[in-house]
A and B are shown apart, each in its own frame.
Chain A
């Protein structure tokens, strides 16, 4: 099956698409302030006219490219835009400042490749198994899984639980606008023809991510030249034998931390980078340990690998259950749906050829990422130096293009603007936007499953706890919450640790 996928993905035209996807994905992902989710959202129009296989191949490239682009930004600029890059910036930026930027980028690129490849192999074997198991799940079980996804994405991940839940609820609300899936009744449309079809996911995502971010930055733009740390060239800049020796174990450890965490159908793929960083820091010995906080290569290698492995892991619940657990995955799901590809347990049976093409192109994309990124570092640095007025004006134009090309209606750009203004205020007052995006796409599915389960049980709510699987899921959710509380305490202890060390000296 996978071989068939490869035979499609390796056709010269499709290889070119993969290359293009990785290149554009990285180039856009490198842009400051643009995370992977926004990269996928912004680049959606370029696939509108492609056939499904080509579009999936491009998306696989964009997915990994956007991810890698983000880490380049955080190594060379510090101040990362998305939480998954924060950890990379900790050590990576210090390395760059010490003139070891090329080594940091190289260990990130190779680590991403190693982790991405291993994780894709794991995905290849795991996804069909999970899909087979998932065929046996009933609506009650889906309700349980989605409750967990909602609560983890909304309440667990932001700094403020209430703001996360508010974002979540607003996403659920927007998801309800339009025609009710079960009864075909109009809801919250106020007889407005633009609203009857519902609000398109692309408009909300591009509005929140791109327009909201552009407005937010514009309101407090830092004027003056952009400071990008130059990447030193020459023999010493590249990975030394010592660097390889110090990197390979963190790559592998990061992979095996990241993949399982990504696979769990709950939000929190970002946690893997923190865990990997903490693990590397703990495991480092002697002089290497002292380097942490000053540019330790393990602190780049591990989290980068974990990040990429988690990104591949996230595809397991996405493809087999149809449940996106990150904003980026929600965007991928939106892209799939445009091509009438409905992820879920039956995906591997119904559209096997396409799925295997997608998985094969993940391998290809990963390899291309490695081939492309090391020689093109100079280009990425140039992209980082684009004068900010042009950069944000360009983002506005691209966002408007993306919104207009959804239905070729100028009114959609109006919706984009409204959502963008909302996104601005959400940023200003510290509301996370990711829960809204995930809720908007998951909400309608959740409602269908909820109503189905209640209908089967003649509206007896205790039926929601009737299946053993659901009970296990709810119990693990309780465990996750206790665990996260413990982790949070540990993390704040970790952050406080350097201060204590200084005090004791």
Chain B
């Protein structure tokens, strides 16, 4: 929902693959919908009808997009503040960010939310080339502690403080 700009023509392989994701979700849904149990008391169209409609729509619309792309009507990438539209996609940065979110997920339970959050923030800041790095790390620790205090302590959202901070009373919900 933003200003649309035309991107320079590229090989639309990625775009076709993405449209095929819609098609395959729809196709898988059509297969899976057949095994939704229908209670014997059902007198209406039942729990399968709407899945069939929606999944068919996914298949049809996805196929339509593939056809459009083949005819040269590619999508217009969204514009945004802070975006260099002419830059090449930095896949490495994306992979790093996804990696840090995954790391964050696995750290929440054993290490506590503040540690996981600090790791996510410093990792992301490092990926996005924040300089100097030590500053980003300090900010991440402060941010994590402030968020833990505000949400865990003040607002009563039960974020696990983790073994490191277990003993600090004001960080608890």
Chain A residues 238-290 with CB under 8 Å of chain B are: 270
Interchain nearest-CB distance for B93 vs A (Å): 5
**B interface secondary structure, majority:** helix
User: Which chain A positions have C-beta within 8 A of B39?
Assistant: 183, 185
Assess whether B165 is interfacial by the CB under 8 Å rule.
no
Q: Is B2 a contact of A81 with CB atoms below 8 Å? A: yes
A73 to B81, CA, bound (A): 10
Interface string of B110-139 (1 = CB under 8 A from A): 000100110011101101111000001001
User: Which chain B positions have C-beta within 8 A of A126?
Assistant: none
Q: Which listed residue, A166, A187, A219, A413, touches B61 by the CB 8 Å rule? A: A166
Interface size class of B (residues with CB under 8 A): 35 or more
Assess whether B104 is interfacial by the CB under 8 Å rule.
yes
Interchain nearest-CB distance for A215 vs B (Å): 6
Assess whether B9 is interfacial by the CB under 8 Å rule.
no
Chain B residues 1-54 with CB under 8 Å of chain A are: 1-4, 14-15, 18-19, 22, 25-26, 29, 32-33, 36-39, 42-47, 49-51, 54
Q: Is B65 a contact of A390 with CB atoms below 8 Å? A: no
A226 to B84, CA, bound (A): 12
Q: Is A218 a contact of B14 with CB atoms below 8 Å? A: no
User: Which chain B positions have C-beta within 8 A of A80?
Assistant: 2-3, 81
Assess whether B83 is interfacial by the CB under 8 Å rule.
yes
User: Which chain B positions have C-beta within 8 A of A46?
Assistant: 151, 155
User: Which chain A positions have C-beta within 8 A of B83?
Assistant: 216-217, 220-222
Q: Is A218 a contact of B90 with CB atoms below 8 Å? A: yes
A220-B89 in contact given A166-B61, A389-B136, A417-B101 (Cβ < 8 Å) = yes
Which one of B49, B54, B64, B82 has the highest number of Cβ atoms from chain A below 10 Å of its Cβ? Answer: B82
Q: Is A389 a contact of B120 with CB atoms below 8 Å? A: no
Assess whether A363 is interfacial by the CB under 8 Å rule.
no
**Chain B residue with minimal CB distance to A190?**
B32
Q: Which listed residue, A157, A162, A173, A434, touches B65 by the CB 8 Å rule? A: A162
Assess whether B161 is interfacial by the CB under 8 Å rule.
no
Which 3 residue pairs spanning A and B have beta carbons closest together?
A: A430-B75, A389-B130, A389-B128
Q: B residues touching A (Cβ–Cβ < 8 Å)?
A: 1-4, 14-15, 18-19, 22, 25-26, 29, 32-33, 36-39, 42-47, 49-51, 54-55, 57-58, 61-62, 64-65, 68, 73-85, 87-91, 93-94, 97-98, 100-102, 104-106, 108-109, 113, 116-117, 120-122, 124-125, 127-130, 136, 139-140, 143-144, 147, 151, 155-160
Q: A residues touching B (Cβ–Cβ < 8 Å)?
A: 32-33, 35, 45-46, 48-50, 73, 77, 79-83, 86, 157-160, 162-163, 165-166, 169-170, 172-173, 176, 180, 182-183, 185-188, 190, 211, 213-223, 226, 270, 327, 387-390, 392-394, 396-397, 400-401, 404-405, 408, 410-411, 413-414, 416-417, 420-421, 424-425, 427-434, 443, 447, 450-452, 454-455, 459
15 residue pairs A–B, Cβ–Cβ below 8 Å: A33-B82, A79-B3, A157-B1, A160-B73, A160-B75, A173-B54, A219-B91, A220-B85, A220-B89, A221-B87, A222-B83, A388-B82, A405-B159, A428-B18, A431-B75
